[in-house]
Structure 1
Amino acid sequence: MHFARPEYLYLLWGIPVLAAFFAWSMRRRRKALALLISPALERHLVVEFSRARAVARALLELVFFTTAVVALARPQWGAKLETVRRHGVDIVVALDTSYSMNAEDVSPSRLEKAKSEVRSLIGRLKGDRIGLVVFAGSAVVQCPLTLDYGAANLFLDAVGAGMVPEPGTALAAAITTSTAAFSTRERKYKVLVIVTDGEDLEGDVAEATRRAKEEGVLIFTVGVGTPEGRPIPVRDEKGDVVEYRKDPNGQVVLSRLDERTLAQIALETGGRYYRATTSEGELEAIYDEVSRLEKKELESKLFQNYEDRFQYPLSVAVAAMIAVLAMSERRSRSRVRPEAMSSKVALFLLALLLPAAGSRADSAGAKNKEGNRLFKERNYEEAEKAYLQAQAEAPNRPDLQYNLGNALVKQKKYEPGLQSLRNAVAKADRGLRARGWFNSGNALFEMGRYQDAAASYVEALRIDPADRDAKHNLELAQRKLQEQQKQKAQSQGEGKDQPRSDRRDSKQQPKPDRGEPDPKGGDKPAGSDAARAKQSDESLSKRRALELLDAVNSQELAEQRKRAAERQRRKITGKDW
C-alpha cells in the first residue's frame, strides 16, 4: 500500500495534541467542580453528567480526525494495468502565405479566411495527428505532426503573409515538403489538405503530385478567393493600403483563384477539391471523408495504476462524526432536532468532499514530482511513464511537455523527444522556452543534424543573449557543420564524421542538457543546478555579450545573403506574388 498524497500524513502528529487537550479539558472540569461542591454531594447533584460518555465522545473525535487524515492522503493498493490507445490518421495542412493571399476578394482577406478554415479543421479532429506546412516560393514545416491541438493552433496564429522569405507560389514545393513530413514507412493513413488560391508560378506540380500518390498521400484542396480576382494590396506600417502590387511592366497584378489546377491535384490522388465558403461546410465534408479512412494506432501506452481506497477510511470518518453529533454527555437521551442534525451532517460531508474536488490537479503535481525523482535517479523510462500520467491529468501544462521531452531524449528517443520540447516551447514562459531550445539543440547535435542544432541554439540566444553554454554549443555546431561540408566536398566515400576518439573532438563536446525536470508542480531535484552554478560566479562582460550577439548575427547574415540571391534569381521571371 502507498499514499498518493503522503504529505497529509504529517497531520497525524495532531493526534497526541488532541488527546492531551481532551485529557486537560476533563481534568480542568473536575477541578472546577471540586471547588464548588464536595465529592460526596457530586453524585447527588450532578446526576445527568456521564464521564464515560464524555470519554467515548472524545475517542470518537480522535477516530474521526485520524481516518479523515488517512482519507485525504489517498491510500492506494491493488495495482491495475491499463493500456491507453489512440487511433487516427496523419493530416498535414499546407497553407499558402504568398503575397497574393493578401487579396481581399474574400473577407477579411484570403489568408485570414484560410487560417479560419484550418482552425476550424483542427477543432473537428478527434485523435488524429495534425501538422502544418507554410509555403510561398518555397515550403517549410511550421509544426510537425502532433496530437497537441493547442500547440498547432499557436503555430497557426503565428502565420502571416510573407513569412516564407522566398516570394512566389510553389505548389510543387508545398506538396514535396508536406509528403516528407509524413512517415516514410507507411503507404496509407496520410492526408494532405492544401489551402491556397491555386496560382502556381513555378515548379513541376504534376511530378510532385505523382510522387505524393506513390507515397500513399491523399490530397484535398481548398481554394480561397474568386475566379474574377482582386489586386494585391501593399500596406504600410499602420496597415493602410499605399499601393497595389505590380508586375515588371508596371501593370497592377490581378490575382485570381485557379480552381482547375487545384482540382487536378486532388483528382490525381483520389481526393476532392472544395472552394472555401462562409459556412465552412467544405471542412465538414473533408473531415467526414477522412473519418471514413482506415485509421492507425497513433499512441499505445501501458500504465500501472493503483486503485484509490480512500473510500474506506472516509466511511469510518463519516460514521464517527455522525456518532459524535448524535452523542450527548448526559445520562438521559439527548433530544437533537432532526433538522439541526441533518444540517450538521451536510456541512461535514461538504467539508470532506471539497478537498477531493481538487485531487485531480493535485495528482498531476504529485506524478510530476515522482517523475522528477526518477529522472534524478537516471531511471528515465519510469520517469517517462510518470510524466505521461501527469499529462493525462493536466494536458495543458508546458512544464510537463518539457520534462517528458528531456526523459525521451535521455533514452535516445529523439524524434518524440524533440516533438515534446517543441510543444513546450510553443506554450511556455521565457525561461522555459530558452531551456527547451537549448535541449533541442543538444538532441539535434547528438543526431548529427548540426545545422538544425545551430538554429536551435540561435533561438535560445535570442531569448537569453547572456547564455554562455548556448554560445559554446553554437560555435561547436557551426564548426562540426563546416567539417562535415568540407569532408563531403573532398570525397563522397569519406563523408562520415571523425570518430569520437578524435583528440580535438574529445575536448569539444557540447555543454550538457538543462535536462533536469522543471520544478513546477513538484520539488526540483537537489543539486540539479550544480553544473551551471560553477559558471554563475563569472560575470559576463559587455564585450563578451557583444561577441555572443555577433555570432548570432553572423548566422542570420549568411541566411539573408542566401535569400537575397534567391530573390535576385526570381526577379528575372518577375513573378513574386
Structure 2
Amino acid sequence: MNFAAPHFADPRWLLLAVLCPLTLIALQLYAMRARQQQLAKIASPDFLVNLTQSHSPARRVLKDILLVLGFAGMGVALARPQWGELELAGEELGEDIVFAVDCSRSMLAADVSPNRLERAKLAVSDYTRRHARGRIGLVAFAGQAFLQCPLTFDHGAFEDSLRALDDKTIPVQGTDIGRALDESYRAMEKMDRRKVIVLLTDGEDLEKSGAGMAAKLAREGVVVFTIGVGTVAGAEIRALNDQGQVDIVRDRKGETVRSRLDEPALLAIARATKGNYFPLGPVGEGLAKVRLAVDSTGVAGSNQPARKLGVERFHYPLAIALALLVGESLVGTRRFSRARRHLAGVFLFGLVAINADATANTTTNSVSQPEPAPVNARDFFNAGTRKLNSGDLRDAEPLLQTALAQQDERIRPDALYNLGLVRFKQGAEELKKSPDANRTKARSRNALSQGEQALTRVNDALEGNDLLQMLTAYQRGRGAKKELKAASEQLQRAMEIHGVTLRKWQRALGDFQGAAELNPADTNAQHNARTTERAIAKLVDSLREMQQLGQAMGEMTKELGAKLKQLRGMIPDPLAPPGGAGEDEEDEERDQPNGPKEGQREERGREGEEKSISPEEAGMLLEGFKLGGDRRLPMGQGEQGKPKDRKGRDW
C-alpha cells in the first residue's frame, strides 16, 4: 500500500472527532454519579456491596471506552482520510479559431464556382472536418458584423450556423472589415493564449478600416490569416432585385458594378498581425495552408496540466468504528463464569474475523470502483456532465436536476446549460422516431386529393342511374377511404412524437434562458436559446399544418363514408361488391371515438406517461406556446445607432 501524501480531504469534521468523544465522556461521568446517588438513597452501604456483587465496573468502563472510540472513528471517517496518489494525465486542448466570413453582395460574384460566398462556406466546412482541433467560432459581416456561432467544441452546431449564412444574413449592406475584426476579437476569451482569426473576403473594404483595426489587434497578440476569395479580374455581381428577379447590380450612375479581389489590402492586414495571406483557390486549398501556417508559427493550444488525486481511505476508520460500536453493544456489565468467558472469547474472535473480511471487501470494492457516489452539488453536476458526454441522456437529466436542487449558485448556470443540452438532444432523439414529416404531410394531401376525386365520382353516381358507374364509384370510394384512414393514423403518430419533442425543447429553451440570465456573459447559452427558439418555431409550424390536415381528413372520411353508405343502399344485393355492407359497418365502428361505452367505467389515467395527442389537443398546445410560424429572429443587430453613410456603395 502506498502511504505517500497523507492528508484529510475535509478536515473540518475532525472537530467532531474531538468534541463528540469529550461530550460523551462528560455524559458518562454524569450518569455514573447519578447512579451512585440513586443507589445510596435506596440501600445502606453494606447492603449495596451484596446487591452489586454481580456487576463488573471494569466491563462498564470497557463499554464506555468502546463507545467513545467508535464515535471518534466516525468523525475521522467523515474527514475523509487519504493517502497514496492517483495521477490523471493532462489533455492537450486545440487552439481557438474564429472565422470571419464576408456576406456582402460582392460575394455573389461568380468568378469562382458556384459563387464566392458558397465557395468560402464549402472551404470552411472542409477545414473543420479535416483540420479543426479545438474550439471554433463564426462571425458574419457586411456593413455590420454579427457573432453567428460563439467559440464551441460542438462542430455540428458550427456547421448548422455556417449553412445558414447567405447575403441576407446581415441587413446592412457594404463591407466593413474593421468591424468584422473587432467583433471576432470580442468573441474570444481574454486570456494569455494566442488568438487566431481567419478572414475570408474579397478584400473590398469600403470603410477602409481593416488596416487600422489590424494594427490594434496586433498589439493585443492577435494573429490574422487573410483568405482572398475571387480573382483579380473580378466578375459582375448578380443579385435579386425588388421584383424578385436576378439582375446585374449597378451603381447610382447606372454603370455595371464589377467586383475584384483586392490582394494588397488583405496582405497588409495579415502582415500587420504577423499572419499570412493565401488565395482561397478553386477548391479551397488556401485554408489547408492556414493549418500549416498555424503549426509553424507556434499558435498552439494550451495543455491541461496533469492532476494528482488522493486515494480515499475513509472505509478503514469507518469499519473500525462500526466494529467498536457492535462490540460495545455485545459487552455486558455482569461478571461471567469461567465457561461463559470461554464462549465469549470464541464469539468475539469470530466477530473480529467477520469485520476483517468486511474491511477487505470494502477495500476491494473501493479499488474496483474508483468513482465515488455523488455527495454535493458539484459531484452531481460532474456525474451528469459525464453522462451527457457519453450519450446517456436518460441518466444525465436526473443527476443535473439534483445538482440544481442543491441551490449552489457557483454551478447553477452551468448545470442549467447542460440540462438544456440534455433536453434538446432528448427532443431530437424523439423526433428521429417519428415518421418523416414531409412525407407524412405529402401522403395526407394525396389522400385528401383522392378523397375529393372519389367523392365527386360518388356524387355523380348518386345523381345518375348507371349501375356500372355506381359499382366503379363505390370501389374507388372505399379505396380512397382506406387511404384516408391509413394517412390519418400515420399523421397521428407523427403529431404525438412532435408534441413530445415540442415539450422537451420548450423546457430546454427555459434552461438556456435561465443560464443566460444567471450569467449574461455566457454567449453560448444565448446562442443556444436563439437556436432552440428557431427550432421550436419550425416544429410549431409543422404541427399546425399537420393539425389542419388531420381535421380535413377527418371531415373528408366522415363525408365520404356517409356517401358510400347511401350509394351502397342503391346497389342491388346480388350485384353488391364482396363484403361491402359488413366492411362499411366495421369502418363506422372504427370511426367512433375510443371513449368509454355505456355501462362501462373509464379507467384512471396513469400520470407520468406520454399520452396520445389529438388534432384538437395539438391546437390547444400550439396556442399555449404563442409562437407564430412567421416569427423571425433579429440578425446582425449587435450595435445600436444609425450606420455610417457609405456614399451609395452598398455591394
| TM-score, scaled to structure 1 | 0.51
Residue matched to 1:167: 173
Please identify, of 274-283 and 224-233, the stretch whose mean Cα deviation from structure 2 is larger.
274-283
Q: What is the distance in 1 between the residues matched to 2:393 and 2:107?
A: 33
Q: Is the counterpart of residue 243 in structure 1 residue 247 in structure 2?
A: yes
Pairing 1:575–2:649 present: yes
Equivalent position SS for 1:88: coil
Name the CA distance, whole Å, in 2 between partners of 1:546 and 1:457: 19
1:174 is matched by which residue type in structure 2? A
2:281 aligned partner, one-letter code? T
C-alpha separation in 2, matches of 1:403 and 1:222: 47
Question: For 1:460-514, what per-residue CA distance to the aligned partner results, in whole angstroms no more than 9, with x for missing partners?
Answer: 56555799xxxxxxxxxxxxxxxxxxxxxxxxxxxxxxxxxxxxxxxxxxxxxxx
The structure 2 residue matched to 1:381, chosen from 375, 378, 398, is: 378
Inter-partner Cα distance in structure 2 for 1:100 and 1:289: 28
Task: State the Cα deviation string for residues 155-203 of structure 1 (Å, max 9, x = none).
Answer: 22222222122211111111000011111132x4211100111111126
2:113 is matched with: 107
Q: Are residue 439 (structure 1) and residue 533 (structure 2) matched?
A: no
Count of equivalent residues:
361
Which among 206, 212, 215 is matched to residue 207 of structure 1?
A: 212
Contact 1:441-1:455 within 8 A present in 2 as well? no
Residue matched to 1:255 = 259
Whole-Å separation in 1 of the counterparts to 2:227 and 2:636: 34
Shift of 1:400: 9.1
Task: Report Cα offsets for 1:237-282 as digits up to 9, x if no partner.
Answer: 99x9621122222222211111111111000000010001135332
Provide closer, same or farther for how the CA distance between residues 197 and 389 of structure 1 changes in structure 2, counting only shifts above 3 A: same
CA drift at 1:453: 8.6
Say if 1:305 and 1:224 are closer, same or farther in 2 by CA, change over 3 A: farther
Maintained 8 Å contact 2:145/2:638: no
Q: Secondary structure, in 3 states, of the residue corresponding to 1:183?
A: coil
Which residue of the partner structure matches residue 37 of structure 1? none
Change (3 A) 1:388 1:417: closer
Superposed counterparts of 1:257-406, under 5 Å: 257-292=261-296, 293-297=298-302, 379-390=376-387, 393-394=390-391
Is the contact made by 2:169 and 2:635 (CA closer than 8 Å) also made in structure 1? no
Instruction: Look up the match of 2:99.
Output: 93
Counterpart in 2 of 1:484? none
| CA distance, structure 2, for counterparts of residue 80 and residue 99 of structure 1 | 58
Deviation at 1:79, TM superposition (A): 11
TM-score, normalized by length of structure 2? Answer: 0.46
Q: Deviations over 1:267-313 (max 9, x none)?
A: 0000010001135332232111212415343656979999xxxxxxx
Please tell me whether residue 194 in structure 1 is matched to residue 268 in structure 2.
no
Which stretch of structure 1 is more off in the superposition, 132-141 or 204-213? 204-213
2:288 partner amino acid: E
Q: Deviations over 1:6-60 (max 9, x none)?
A: xxxxxxxxxxxxxxxxxxxxxxxxxxxxxxxxxxxxxxxxxxxxxxxxxxxxxxx
Q: CA separation in 2, counterparts of 1:428 and 1:300?
A: 36
Assess if the C-alpha contact under 8 Å between 1:405 and 1:416 holds in 2.
no
Change in 2 beyond 3 A, CA 1:446/1:287: same
Q: Judging changes above 3 Å, is the alpha-carbon distance between structure 1 residues 462 and 233 closer, same or farther for their aligned structure 2 residues?
A: same
**Closer, same or farther in 2 for the Cα pair 1:454/1:304, shift >3 Å?**
closer
Q: Which amino acid aligns with 1:267?
A: R
Task: Rate the CA distance shift 1:110–1:529 in 2: closer, same or farther, 3 A.
Answer: farther
Shift of 1:121: 1.8
Q: Do the aligned partners of residues 115 and 547 (structure 1) sit closer, same or farther apart at CA in structure 2, a change above 3 Å counting? A: closer
d(CA) in 2 for partners of 1:237 and 1:421?
45
* Structure 2: runs of 5+ lacking an equivalent: 1-83, 312-368, 429-500, 540-606, 610-616
Contact 2:95-2:301 at 8 Å conserved across structures: yes
Query: Per the alignment, do residues 448 and 268 of structure 1 end up closer, same or farther by CA in structure 2, a change over 3 Å counting?
Result: closer
Cα offset for 1:123?
A: 2.2
Partner Cα distance (1:386, 1:158) in 2: 34
Q: Report the Cα offset of residue 224 of structure 1.
A: 0.5
In structure 1, the partner of 2:6 is none
- When residues 278 and 221 of structure 1 are mapped into structure 2, their CA distance, relative to the original with a 3 A threshold, is same
Query: Which residue of structure 1 lines up, in the alignment, with residue 130 of structure 2?
Result: 124
465 and 266 in structure 1: CA distance in 2 versus 1, 3 angstrom threshold = closer
Amino acid in the other structure paired with 2:282: T
Q: Which residue of the partner structure matches residue 225 of structure 1?
A: 230
User: For residues 261 and 377 of structure 2, what CA distance do their matches in structure 1 show?
Assistant: 52
Shift of the 435–575 alpha-carbon distance from structure 1 to 2, 3 Å rule, reads farther
The offset of 1:211, in angstroms, is: 2.0
Relative to 1, partners in 2 of residues 1:166 and 1:399: Cα closer, same or farther, differing over 3 Å? farther
232 and 388 in structure 1: CA distance in 2 versus 1, 3 angstrom threshold: same
Larger Rg: 2
Change (3 A) 1:420 1:236: farther
* Structure-2 separation of matches of 1:444 and 1:301: 32
Higher strand share: 1
Q: Distance in 1 between matches of 2:638 and 2:239?
A: 21
SS of match in other structure, 1:284: helix
1:110 CA displacement: 0.6
Deviations 1:318-349 (A, max 9, x none): xxxxxxxxxxxxxxxxxxxxxxxxxxxxxxxx
- Aligned partners of 2:201 and 2:229 also within 8 Å: yes
1:146-161 superposed matches below 5 A? 146-161=152-167
Distance 2:158 2:175 in 1: 23
Q: In 2, distance between residues paired with 1:92 and 1:454?
A: 18
Please give the secondary structure, in 1, of the residue aligned with 2:148. strand
The one-character-per-residue Cα deviations of 1:139-170 (angstroms, maximum 9, x if unpaired) are 11111112232332232222222212221111
What secondary structure sits across from 2:510 in the alignment?
helix
Deviation at 1:127, TM superposition (A): 3.2
Residue 387 of structure 1: how far off its partner (Å):
3.8
Kept in 2: contact 1:134–1:142 (CA 8 A) = yes
Amino acid aligned to 1:575: R
Structure 1: unaligned runs, 5 residues or longer:
1-77, 307-366, 468-527, 531-538
Determine the C-alpha separation between the residues in 2 that align with 1:179 and 1:247.
Answer: 33
Return the letter of the residue paired with 1:381.
R
Question: Given the alignment, which residue of 136, 149, 166 partners 1:143?
Answer: 149
- Residues 404, 417 of structure 1: 8 Å contact kept: no
CA distance in 2, matches of 1:573, 1:271: 32
Instruction: Measure, in 2, the Cα distance between the counterparts of 1:274 and 1:386.
Output: 45
